Structure 1
Amino acid sequence: MDSAPSVLEVRRDRFARRLPGALAELAGPAHGTVSLPLHLAWSGLTRFDLDQPRLRMSCYRTVLAEGRHDDLARYLNRDLLIGMWPVLRGLVSRDIREVWEGAFTELAPAVRAAV
């Protein structure tokens, strides 16, 4: 008899299904103000100035946690994500971190340390 998947497995699967095929698909803005729709920013701020590091980090945390596949491509920027990842990885849940680092070698800690 098969056992039901754990909550952790369900969460990781949910995040994995949302991933882009490659980080190059993340074509969101690198500067300026971003207004997130309510299905992403349902609590708290909805507008984020990407030129302010704390607001940029908050925006990315929100999109990573709540975003659908299309949201990730629309609101995240590949270069910003890679640059912010060493700090951002400590601000997102472990399942988000492990799914993203497992899918994209550019984000894996060992790869970043070698660069």
Structure 2
Amino acid sequence: MDLPLHVAWSGMTSYDVENPRQRMGLYRAVLHEGLRDDLPQYLHRDLLVQMWPVLRGLVGRTVRAVSEEAFPQLAARARAAV
């Protein structure tokens, strides 16, 4: 998957979503730099929920708080993983 430059401005722009490390990097980049319209375009809801316990440790406090407030299932998934 190729990300636009406004999302991937500081590094990799092309990701192999079959590769778990690259997929994690793609999700992290979109959460950090993506615009509201980028989220549904580049993130798969079920994968985001599945990856959230690891991904939430890779994103900043603000991204984590905004994401978990907008999507309560992310906070529930993080609590279930503890």
Q: Give the TM-score, by structure 1 length.
A: 0.66
Report deviation, 1:40: 0.7
> Aligned partners of 1:42 and 1:105: how far apart in 2?
29
Aligned letter for 1:43?
A: S
Residue 54 (structure 1) aligned to one of 18, 21, 26: 21
Report deviation, 1:42: 0.7
Aligned to 2:36: 69
Aligned to 1:83: 50
> Any idea what the Cα deviations from partners look like across 1:80-109, whole Å, max 9, x if unmatched?
10010000000000000011112211011x
Q: Which sections of structure 2, spanning at least 5 residues, go unmatched?
A: none
Larger gyration radius, structure 1 or structure 2: 1
> Any idea what the Cα deviations from partners look like across 1:11-52, whole Å, max 9, x if unmatched?
xxxxxxxxxxxxxxxxxxxxxxx0001111011110001111
Aligned to 2:71: 104
Which structure carries more strand by proportion? 1
Q: Give the TM-score, by structure 2 length.
A: 0.90
CA RMSD of the aligned region, Å?
A: 1.2
Shift >2 Å, 4+ stretches = none
Aligned to 2:2: 35
Aligned letter for 2:24?
A: M
